Structure 1
Amino acid sequence: MEETLSLKTELAELDKRHFMHPTSSIQMQQKNGPEFIFTNGEGIYLNEISGRKFIDGMSSLWNVNIGHGRQELGRVASEQMSTLAFSSAFSTYSHEPAIRLSKKLSDMAPGDLNVSFFTSGGSEANDSAIKIVRHYWKLLNKPERKKIMSRKLAYHGVSMGSTSATGIKEFHEMTTSLAPDFIYAPAPKPGMSESGNETVNLICIKETRELIEREGPETIAAFIAEPIQGAGGMIIPPKGYLQEMRKICDEYGILFIADEIITGFGRTGKLFGIENWDIVPDMMTVAKGITSGYMPLGAVLISDRIHGELIKSSKGTLFHGFTYSGHPTACAVALKNLEIIEEEGLVENSKIMGKEFAKELKQLEEEHWTVADGRNLGLLAAFELYEDPQNRKRFDSSLAVSKRVLQKCLEHGLILRSITYEGSDTIAIAPPLIITKEEVGKMFSIISNAVGAVEKELENEGFLKK
């Protein structure tokens, strides 16, 4: 025990001194050190250095789809490293893992998305998609088509292009280096995603048309959208919204890019989130679940139509690429990961467990006066916390209600995520796709107890059930 405590103290001090964490409070890290130091994982669980065990209710960063501790992927990585750990894909050099993975993605993807451009992750994939569509329009002698239309509360990454496509103001305020020619369409909000809510759908579509007309459709290269907005609030679009957006893009000649970084590879009960609406995009970006986080990898999947134009009209070298585009070891790990997803029926399990999620979310609303707008598609879920759910009145942000629920969950061994943009109190849930019915029940029991404990605190503070 003393040895473990000594190691934890040592690592915490080294962490504070030398490790600048992504998307973290620098002040909090310097004051308290790392909140957790994880040592190993197995299935849906993560183990911390002090011996505590947690359910990974967020698949870490929405990405560990096949669960932790899968030795099969370690063996594949070792075998590939011992033969060809790395080889460049520049200058048309190639290798079998990238070729095989390109073909596999072609087989899995909807429609004619048959060509892959590989990256190291999601931000790079979205950046690449943006550059490729602008290159495409230049080849068609329409260089004025360079604007990228995303949506408010969209999240597309943190490189310059993908940050600029992100529609969350906090990411814009962090820097002074946003790229020009990005515009933001309205998007549905949490609590407005019921299948029959035609009013919200019509308002979003009407305002999007107005934006396109105002900007000039001849200047817009592409519309990029997450099928379900993840980091911006886990927003499932209302019935008909995405189909209408596809029609609008076709009408104005705007390319449709589906950002499947979170929703890809089974998360929603379909292989890809966009398939829930029977839409085939012109391009699709993937990462996260492609390797279940075991290796960094992303890709842009490109339609035959766009690829055909690139073949026809490109001259010389395509001056875009990353050192690790098509990394052999990452591609080998991805192939094994996709094999596991298929052989273990994890897409179907996501769909089945999603039905259990829906039941649990409904029960949560029935049992707790603060809870409303529970929603899920497969194993991508969320619910809202309100002072007055019936009138959708939010708690004052200074109360940090969702973060208090999150802390109670952590105390009982469950990792979730709170989303608080624009004053919301959203709890997001996205466990590994291997989760069982028993584990779903255990997770929601912890959530219910945590919400109940916070509700008691709020009642003591003078808040009453409406």
Structure 2
Amino acid sequence: MDKAFQLSWKSIHREGDELTVEKDHVFHRNFHYNYPLIEKAEGIYLYDESGQQYMDASSGAVAVSVGHGNKEIIEAVAKQAEKVAFVHTLRFETEIQHHLSRLIASIAPDTLDTVYFTSGGAEANESAFKLARQYHIGHGKQKKTKIMSHWNSYHGNTMWTLSAGGDNNRRSLYEAELHEGTVHVLPPYRRGRPSSEGMTPEEFGEACLKEIEETIIREDPETISAFIVEPITGSQIAALVPPDNYLKGIRKLCQTYDILMIADEVMTGFGRTGEMFAVDHWQVVPDIITFAKGVSSAYLPLGGMIVSDGIVKVIKEEWDGKFAHGFTFSGHPLSLAAAKANIEYILKHDLVKKAKRQGEYLNGQLRKLAETWSFTGEVRGKGLLAGFEMVKDQMSNMAFESEFQAAEKFNALSLKNGAVLYPGQGQVKGEKFDHILLGPPLTITTQEIDKLITILEQNCSEFSELIKSTV
């Protein structure tokens, strides 16, 4: 492990048994962190150059849904490469584009059956914002320009998606450049809401929806184009599941005020939460679903949006069939081939139901963990998207000081002990809080979950000692 950390800063070449270290040319995500060099990945495990094994308990960035080294996906990509590796979709289309679109439409919620491809989630959400704008102009509603979203949400790192997102840590450096036409509301999250104490989930959901409607009216409904929402919040509040009436309430508000509802399923789509799409838990049909990550299990970059018939109708009739948007790599044949093989694998092996079943087991084991360690706060999630907060103690629910970096320290222990987690630090009304997100491949077995829990137990034991040493 130490050797891997030491060498990861350098360009490394092997000549026989000799190791040659040269000047490093990589623009690292963090120049002050030494990254292990991963040489092999198989199933739910990663292996670095020293042989250290890491359980990929976060599927990368909650993306590698079917695990690493899937032969069916690899062979499908190679086969497509032999036929055609690239065409520009401004001029041509491919057979795989039609096959995958038909497959995605067949598993999407009712009336969502037209698919537009991008290279990733940020591009997908940016595309959805532009499509919403063009849709409203087609209806003669020029003033509809604003995008609504939640604080503590994440929708991408382009300037528009960063503006719509609610991660203050990411937004702060670019505050002057962020789009003014974004409107934020608080998420359905009780932290920072002392008035919610004693409310039932339904009452809390209604209170949150009332705040949203008041915001819509204050901003003027005639100026709001779309409301983008993560059905289950991912990296910013670690698998926060809303009250059962919440998404249905947003859907109703959007219909009442002629606002398009965009469900950001970049992290939750394609079986992750125990349904094919997270909105299916509440039988909500948005106007647009955006996706990425799990669509191809990250074997190749791919994202996109699934669009409702009503929006497509406006583009066809009011815009001469043209969406004023596009990317060079939209509909890249190799990415589409990876996605088709990936979805077929998920369906063939019934991984959506498995995610639900294994998720219930994982969530139950995490709750047992929380009963033992006082610094593990609320446990939540659906399917194999699970999370827990890290707090000073469960009784007060008080957050650790932000400088302590509790989640990062916990993940560092986890890496040492052989598992990769997804740490995060959110903020509500100025109060920062730490959390851990888990999203292992949908192929994980019960025995592998038990192994993960054993690693988490070890993490907790060592973290407890760390806390004692800093008091």
| TM-score (norm: length of structure 1) | 0.92
Q: Distance in 1 between matches of 2:68 and 2:62?
A: 13
Please list the CA deviations of residues 329-349 of structure 1 after superposition, one character each: whole Å capped at 9, or x if unmatched.
111111111110001111111
Q: Mapping of 1:38-187 within 5 angstroms?
A: 38-91=38-91, 93-175=92-174, 176-187=176-187
Q: Distance in 1 between matches of 2:67 and 2:324?
A: 37
Q: Distance in 1 between matches of 2:8 and 2:162?
A: 35
Please list the CA deviations of residues 318-338 of structure 1 after superposition, one character each: whole Å capped at 9, or x if unmatched.
331111111111111111111
Q: Distance in 2 between matches of 1:268 and 1:405?
A: 24
Q: Distance in 2 between matches of 1:198 and 1:337?
A: 37
C-alpha displacement at 1:430, in angstroms?
A: 0.5
1:167/1:184 contact within 8 Å kept: yes
Flag the 1:15–1:322 CA change in 2: closer, same or farther, 3 A.
Answer: farther
C-alpha displacement at 1:395, in angstroms?
A: 1.6
The equivalent residue for 2:280 is: 275
Instruction: State the identity as a percent.
Output: 35
Local SS of the residue matching 1:128 = helix
The equivalent residue for 1:407 is: 412
The equivalent residue for 2:26 is: 19
The equivalent residue for 1:315 is: 320
Q: Residue type matched to 2:243 in 1?
A: P
* 1:445 is the counterpart of 2:454: yes
Please list the CA deviations of residues 104-156 of structure 1 after superposition, one character each: whole Å capped at 9, or x if unmatched.
11101001111011101100000000000000001111011111101101100
The equivalent residue for 2:249 is: 244
Flag the 1:7–1:75 CA change in 2: closer, same or farther, 3 A.
Answer: farther
Flag the 1:15–1:228 CA change in 2: closer, same or farther, 3 A.
Answer: farther
The equivalent residue for 1:202 is: 206
Local SS of the residue matching 2:183 = strand
Q: Residue type matched to 1:459 in 2?
A: K
C-alpha displacement at 1:389, in angstroms?
A: 1.3
C-alpha displacement at 1:16, in angstroms?
A: 7.9
Q: Distance in 2 between matches of 1:444 and 1:255?
A: 41
* 1:351 is the counterpart of 2:360: no
Local SS of the residue matching 2:387 = strand
Q: 1:429 aligns with which of 438, 445, 458?
A: 438
Q: Distance in 2 between matches of 1:9 and 1:300?
A: 38
Q: Residue type matched to 1:202 in 2?
A: E
Q: Distance in 2 between matches of 1:6 and 1:205?
A: 51
Q: Distance in 1 between matches of 2:63 and 2:71?
A: 17
Unaligned runs of 5+ in 1: none
Q: Distance in 2 between matches of 1:393 and 1:4?
A: 37
C-alpha displacement at 1:10, in angstroms?
A: 3.8
2:315/2:322 contact within 8 Å kept: no
Q: Distance in 1 between matches of 2:190 and 2:39?
A: 36
Q: Distance in 1 between matches of 2:5 and 2:467?
A: 36
Q: Distance in 2 between matches of 1:364 and 1:112?
A: 42
* Worse-superposed segment, 451-460 or 410-419: 451-460
1:195/1:238 contact within 8 Å kept: no
* Worse-superposed segment, 220-229 or 238-247: 238-247
Please list the CA deviations of residues 259-302 of structure 1 after superposition, one character each: whole Å capped at 9, or x if unmatched.
00000001000000111111000001011101000011111110
Flag the 1:84–1:364 CA change in 2: closer, same or farther, 3 A.
Answer: same
Q: Residue type matched to 1:57 in 2?
A: A
C-alpha displacement at 1:17, in angstroms?
A: 3.8
* 1:295 is the counterpart of 2:300: yes
2:4/2:37 contact within 8 Å kept: no
Structural RMSD (CA):
2.3
Flag the 1:145–1:79 CA change in 2: closer, same or farther, 3 A.
Answer: same
* Worse-superposed segment, 443-452 or 3-12: 3-12
Q: Distance in 2 between matches of 1:196 and 1:412?
A: 39
The equivalent residue for 2:425 is: 420
* 1:325 is the counterpart of 2:330: yes
The equivalent residue for 1:36 is: 36
The equivalent residue for 2:467 is: 458
Matched residue count: 453
Q: Distance in 1 between matches of 2:224 and 2:139?
A: 14
Q: Distance in 1 between matches of 2:271 and 2:167?
A: 26
Q: Which has a greater percent of helix?
A: 1
* Worse-superposed segment, 404-413 or 257-266: 404-413
| TM-score (norm: length of structure 2) | 0.91
Flag the 1:200–1:405 CA change in 2: closer, same or farther, 3 A.
Answer: same
Q: Distance in 1 between matches of 2:393 and 2:190?
A: 15
Local SS of the residue matching 2:11 = helix
* 1:390 is the counterpart of 2:382: no
Flag the 1:7–1:399 CA change in 2: closer, same or farther, 3 A.
Answer: closer
* Worse-superposed segment, 221-230 or 173-182: 173-182
2:96/2:337 contact within 8 Å kept: yes
Local SS of the residue matching 1:55 = strand
Q: Distance in 1 between matches of 2:413 and 2:453?
A: 13
